[in-house]
Amino acid sequence: MNSESEILFEVKGRLGCVLLNRPKALNALSTDMCARMNKQLDLWATDDNIAAVVVEGAGEKAFCAGGDVRTLAENGPDNSGPAEEFFATEYQMNARIFHFPKPYISFLDGITMGGGVGISVHGSHCIVTEKTMFAMPETGIGLVPDVGGSYFLPRLPGRLGYYIGLTGARLRAADCLYTGIGTAFVPTDRLEALKVELAAAALSSADDVDGIIARFAEDAGEVPLDEFRDLIDAAFGEQTLEYICDHLEAIDHPWAGETLATLQRMSPTSLKVTLQQLLQGAGKAFDDCMRMEYRLVNHLVTYQSDFFEGIRAVLIDRDNSPKWSPASLREVCEEDVMKHFEPLGDRELNLQKFNNPGD
């Protein structure tokens, strides 16, 4: 499969259609896919014949499982150029989606993680299905919840975003709606009919899109997160990882024990950098969040960080036994955390000025 066929563009009626077309790779994003998506959205943003955009993934398993981070990690910290180029191109695409002036509708029909979140959640409509599996699992591979995670996660209700970003919790459709990540539940077998109706409609506003989606939307069922909401808000309302873990340890509930065990499996450095990232992102505009995240990932790919060990353990050797360094939260000092936020000089992320910069 050549790079041009990894992402396909088509116009149906007044609808711009995007197909992420790497089903065997769970539609993981490459640098070229992000660049081509960014260019196409730029054209459609000012094309009066395009009223809305729909994005979906090929195959039956995934919308988009993330970025192709294994390839990036295999280059190692001494050859970080491809990783830096990938993240810059991906983040420019994320910003394009956030500022896109027309309805942008994603079908999260299957696995939606990491980069798949970035290519969907910043648009106006995220359609979830019974196959949706949504997560930001980066702390488990020594990375951070990027692609705009520092912007949207702190803005979820209560402390849900901190819980999702730190633990990599996996959300099904009802939980996605509960958090505000998803905008409507539509069964998988009705997605094609929804797209056909959107393409056939004389769309003139976001209200037109809302009305059509509403005719296909159904009840997603019970919300698992709601049962633990008070516990989540209390524990993840703490301002340090140590306090979060202490709080969880003091809760006499199976959920707390399971959540604490999950945190103890994650990269201690990633956890501390992520918490600081989310605390800072809560007060930043979107583009400033993307610039901050670019600093974070650039620092993480240019030294022998936990990122390389995480990819080895999870995606290469698949022993799922990463040897984190440092190995515990208490060994990660504040100075080491803050080094990841240092400016990059002439390597800062370049984001163009968009026509609708409001956050």
Residues classed as catalytic: 67, 115, 138, 146
Q: Give me the amino acid identity at 98.
A: F
Give the pLDDT confidence score for residue 353 in this predicted structure.
66
Mean pLDDT value across residues 158-167: 98
Length of the chain as a residue count? 359
Residues 313-340 pLDDT 10s: 998 999 999 999 999 999 999 999 999 9
Per-residue pLDDT band for 246 (boundaries 50, 70, 90) equals very high
Percentage of residues in the chain having pLDDT higher than 70: 97
Across the chain, mean pLDDT equals: 95
pTM: 0.95
Residues 296-316 pLDDT 10s: 999 999 999 999 999 999 989
Q: Give me the residue spans of the domains in the chain.
A: 3-347
Q: Give me the amino acid identity at 259.
A: T
Residues 178-209 pLDDT 10s: 999 999 999 999 999 999 999 999 888 889 99
Assigned fold of 3-347: 2-enoyl-CoA Hydratase; Chain A, domain 1 (3.90.226)
Helix, strand, coil % (nearest 5) of the chain? 50, 10, 35
CB-hemisphere CA count at 13 Å for 263? Answer: 29
Per-residue pLDDT band for 55 (boundaries 50, 70, 90) equals very high
Give the pLDDT confidence score for residue 358 in this predicted structure.
44
Res. 212: pLDDT tops 80: yes
3-state secondary structure of 161: helix
